[in-house]
Every structure is written in structure tokens, then in C-alpha cells.
Structure 1
Amino acid sequence: MNDATATAQTPDILQIGDAAPNFQARSTMGTVSLSDFRGRWLILFSHPADFTPVCTSEFVALSRASERFEALGCKLLAVSVDSLYAHLGWIRAIRDAFDVRVAFPIVEDPSLIIGRAYGMISDRSPDAATMRSTYFIDPDGIIRAMICYPATVGRSVDEMLRVLAALQRVDADNVVTPEGWRPGDDVLLPPHADQAALLAGAADPLWFHRSRPDRKDAST
């Protein structure tokens, strides 16, 4: 029997900057609560269904990349409407077919409590399958980024790692990251916030696009 419970009052539509709704539910690694992950980064992601081709490709790739997420201090947590026993059967099938051990918990949500709290399930959806929703949750439990794909398009593990690294980079220093940024690339400086600073740099034709090497000790 599913015992998922959502304990936070959530807005109609979750947005970046909102607190991630807490929940407690059964998973393939025991009962988990979102609050268990407080104090470190978490990527919570939904998948439409077990034993499906796109989802299987994602779980194989994510499991193989699990150490790369760990290196960034980030845990992974999956959720779908399938039952715990379906999850367990799928994990075994992935191990047998691909020689891959799924290295993160998969939460069951057959009652749709979690999916509805996070907006993973559209009111116009013809069935209960979730979209491929991905939530980047910081150590304080705040949603910092969200990415959503349709059921027919698989996620990019490299993009998930890139977004995570970029979020951590801007938190560590007074910088922002440009298009396609990856660790080691040049970073951008925030725009001037006052008239004096702006006019002092008026001779610089790129005053609105100031970059510098990605060194945390570099002067801004």
C-alpha cells in the first residue's frame, strides 16, 4: 500500500525560488522524506513509467554518472506513479540487461500526491503518467531550477550536471554564467547596479558584458 504523504502547502504552480514541497513515501531504498536531503543539493526527477525505452535509457545513464553527481555533493531521487514492486522489478531487469545497478532511490506515487504537489502531472493529461520533470533543489530546500520534457524526449545527463555546476558556481561568487557555460569557462560579472559605477566604466564598449577567467580568487 502506498503511504506517500505531502506535508507542505504548495502554490498552484511551483516556481523557481519556492520551497520544495516536503513528502514522505516508500522507495526502493526504504521510506524517504524530502527533508532527509536538507543540507545538500538534490535533483528530484519524475519519469512517465517503468519498463519503457526512454526512461530505461535515462536510468542507465544516470546510474553510470552517479559518481559525477556525488562529486558535486548532489543526491538523485526519482519518482513515478508506478508501484514499489514495479520499481523493484525494473531495477532487476536493468541490472540483468545492462549490468547497471540503479544507485539512487525510486519513489512510488500511485496516489499522485507527489506528482500533483509538484505539477508533474498535467490536468489535461490523458493518463496518470508524469512528464519528465526535473527539480534542482539547494541545501536549504529551495527550488533553484526546473526543466521539463515530454514523455517522448529523453533528458541529457550532461545538461543536468552542467546546470547543477552553474548553480553552485554562482552561489560561490558574485558572478553569473554565460550561454553553454561549463566549469573552467570564463564567467560574467553582474551588471552595474548604480550610476557612478556605470559611468566610471563608460569607456568600455562591453560594459554590459564583462567577463573574466573562472577563478574564484579573481577580483571583480
Structure 2
Amino acid sequence: TEMTGFALNQDFFDEKNTKLVGLSIDSIHSHIAWVNNVKKNTGVLFEFPIIADIDMKVSKLYGMLQPGESETAAVRAVFFIDPKGKIRLVMYYPLNVGRNMDEIKRALIALQTSDKHKVSLPLDWREGDKVIVSPPKTVKEMLEREASDYEMVDFYLAKKDL
């Protein structure tokens, strides 16, 4: 259901200039059979690649084989990797707990918003909510901030609309 969920949200990820890649420790032949089965039963076709990690090298490198979980199945995980190849956010899920697409989308938007506007985001932030402006580094910056239209909580904590 989860991979189908990503496929059904392909347009969202395309709009956000985000590439999806699946990874499984099954063989390419298993992937082809599985993708075909999903298409036949749901009408959904995956437009993103699924890596066959048979030797589990990638799964091990990314910490997807967790102690106490299956020896032969990687845990469910989502990695946000920026264009420079830096891992920005990791979400691990036990094998018996599905991912939350709304939170995955929110996290992606949050990372892109923070990067684009050089701001921080508060607890439970959603697109359109106020953002946090970096604290002032000088007294001059503090005075400029006080004269701004920011929502001032204190000199070190200010929020603004984007």
C-alpha cells in the first residue's frame, strides 16, 4: 500500500522537484512481478525506479536492517537527500507500522521552505504558517528587528509570514 501511495502522489513530488526511488532487498525479477501484480490489481503503475539491493549493501549503509527486526527485510524508511547528496531527514518505521504520507509531504515542504527562505520552522508547522527568523547576531540587528513588522516574542525569538 505504501509504494502505491507514493505512486499516487507522483504529481505532488514532481511539482516539488523531488525524485522518488524505492529500495528492496528482493531481486529485480521479484520487483517486476510485484509491480505487474500491483498494476493488474489496482491500476497503479510506479513511475520511479526500485533498486534491487539483494546483497543488502545499501540497506546496511543506510541503517535499514535494525536489530530485533527481520534479518531478511529492511525496515520501512524515508530518506530526504538534497541535491548535493546530503541526508537531511530520516524517518524509520517498524515493519508493522505504515508511513504517513501527510507527514512526508509536510517534511518535504518544510525542508524546501527552510532552505529557500533561510528560516526555521516551529512545532507543528504547516505550509502558510508563520516561520521563525534567525536570532540577531548584533545589537544593531536586534534594534532593526524590534523596528520590523515581525511578531516579536522576545529579542531572540521572532516570527513572520512568508
- TM-score, normalization by structure 2: 0.87
The percentage of aligned residue pairs carrying the same residue is 31
CA contact (8 A) 2:131 2:161 kept: yes
CA contact (8 A) 2:132 2:160 kept: yes
Residues 1:81 and 2:25 aligned together: yes
Single out whichever of 59-68 and 165-174 deviates more from structure 2: 165-174
CA contact (8 A) 2:26 2:53 kept: yes
Q: Write the mapping of 1:186-205 to structure 2, written as runs, cut at 5 A.
A: 186-194=130-138, 197-198=141-142, 205=153
Query: What is the aligned-residue RMSD (CA, Å)?
Result: 2.1
Output the amino acid matched with 1:213.
D
Count of matched residue pairs: 158
Structure 2 unaligned blocks of 5 or more: 147-151
Distance in 1 separating the partners of 2:51 and 2:145: 53
- Equivalent residue in structure 2 for 1:96, among 40, 50, 53: 40
Single out whichever of 191-200 and 69-78 deviates more from structure 2: 191-200
Output the amino acid matched with 2:131.
V
**Residues 143 and 67 (structure 1 numbering): CA distance in 2 closer, same or farther, change over 3 Å?**
same
Output the amino acid matched with 2:42.
F
Output the amino acid matched with 2:135.
P
- TM-score, normalization by structure 1: 0.65
Say which SS state the counterpart of residue 74 (structure 1) adopts. Answer: coil
Say which SS state the counterpart of residue 55 (structure 2) adopts. Answer: coil
Residues 1:66 and 2:10 aligned together: yes
Q: Which residue of 2 aligns with 1:107?
A: 51
Name whichever structure is richer in helix by fraction. Answer: 2
Say which SS state the counterpart of residue 20 (structure 2) adopts. Answer: strand
Say which SS state the counterpart of residue 90 (structure 2) adopts. Answer: strand
